[in-house]
Structure 1
Amino acid sequence: MTSVPTASAPLPVLRRLSPPLTALAAVAVPTAFVSVVDPNTSGHYPECPFLTATGWWCPGCGGLRCVHALTHGDLTGALHDNAVAVLLFGVLGVLWLRWGWAALTGGPPPRVTVGARRWALIALLVLVFTVVRNSPIGAGLAPPLV
């Protein structure tokens, strides 16, 4: 006698949602900390080693200030502190929503593939951002010194 394969029952909704919700919690906890502990006052966070060594703002400089501004509803301040971080957070937010929706509806998680050309374009964007924010014309893209 041979057994007839049966379709497995779908996972319960909470079990399907646990990976995206865990990722959300992993981001929410440090974000809440940065929301409360202001990076605009000196002494709370270490200085950027790239800034210390070169005097140039690195692509990540101002990221904590950007998060702090976003948690307080200040989009203009966040863009001033680190525009690339705001763009990255937006992209990651959309990807997380797609992941959560797929988990909620029982669909497969979305796949994100970034080819070599896109990586090169991203690297070029970050390089241009870094050079511009360190030039006189891009001073508005650099966070204020603390």
Structure 2
Amino acid sequence: MRGVNADTSSTAAPAPPSLRGRLAVPAGVLAAVVGAFAYVGTVDPNQPGHYPVCPLYRLTGLYCPGCGGLRSAHAFVHGDFLAALRDNAAGVAAYLAFAVVWTVWAARAVRGRPVRIELRPVPMWTLGAVLLVFTVVRNLPFVGWLHP
């Protein structure tokens, strides 16, 4: 059968995903985060026995950058922002950073634009240095207001 093209497949590009499809992943991530915060808001980390103790604190008595994070999230959910900052200021900064990044992600998804988060070495090293300084400072005896 010469001259007859046996391939009848279309070479058209696939249709772009619908709005629902573009928002599926950001909505799923938000649902997971809201669920985690709802659980921590319901199950009080200030009551012993609900959550494990930080292994670094248990072994060394030193606070890691995450120590107090659950208590901070619990206070944040209940609207006690000063207690949330006292329990873990870095955690509160992370909650707010997540809200900003998620909003940008969702807005770009609505517009059908890709999200590119490129973490370059300088900001990553800066973040690591800030967390290291936060960890050292919160373990100093005269900075009790940063202890969870």
Q: TM (normalized to structure 1)?
A: 0.88
SS of 2:88's equivalent? helix
> In the TM superposition, what is the alpha-carbon distance from 1:15 to its structure 2 partner?
1.1
The structure 1 segments of at least 4 consecutive aligned residues displaced by more than 4 Å after TM superposition are 3-8
Alignment of 1:132 with 2:137, yes or no, is yes
Q: Could you give the per-residue CA deviations for residues 83-128 of structure 1, whole angstroms, max 9, x where no partner exists?
A: 011111111111100010111122222x111222222211111111
> In the TM superposition, what is the alpha-carbon distance from 1:18 to its structure 2 partner?
0.3
Gaps of 5+ in 2: none
Alignment of 1:30 with 2:36, yes or no, is yes
CA RMSD of aligned residues (A): 1.8
Greater share of helix: 1
Aligned to 2:22: 16
Alignment of 1:88 with 2:104, yes or no, is no
- Give the whole-Å Cα distance in 1 for the aligned partners of 2:82 and 2:25: 32
Gaps of 5+ in 1: none
- Give the whole-Å Cα distance in 2 for the aligned partners of 1:106 and 1:95: 16
- Give the whole-Å Cα distance in 1 for the aligned partners of 2:18 and 2:121: 38
> In the TM superposition, what is the alpha-carbon distance from 1:7 to its structure 2 partner?
6.0
Alignment of 1:1-146 (within 5 A): 8-109=14-115, 111-143=116-148
- Give the whole-Å Cα distance in 2 for the aligned partners of 1:66 and 1:34: 10
Bigger relative contact order, structure 1 or 2, given CA contacts below 8 A and separation 6+?
1
SS of 2:66's equivalent? coil
- Give the whole-Å Cα distance in 2 for the aligned partners of 1:117 and 1:107: 26
- Give the whole-Å Cα distance in 2 for the aligned partners of 1:22 and 1:11: 16
Give the partner amino acid of 2:140. Answer: S
Larger Rg over CA atoms:
2
How many pairs does the alignment contain? 141
Q: TM (normalized to structure 2)?
A: 0.87
- Give the whole-Å Cα distance in 2 for the aligned partners of 1:119 and 1:103: 25
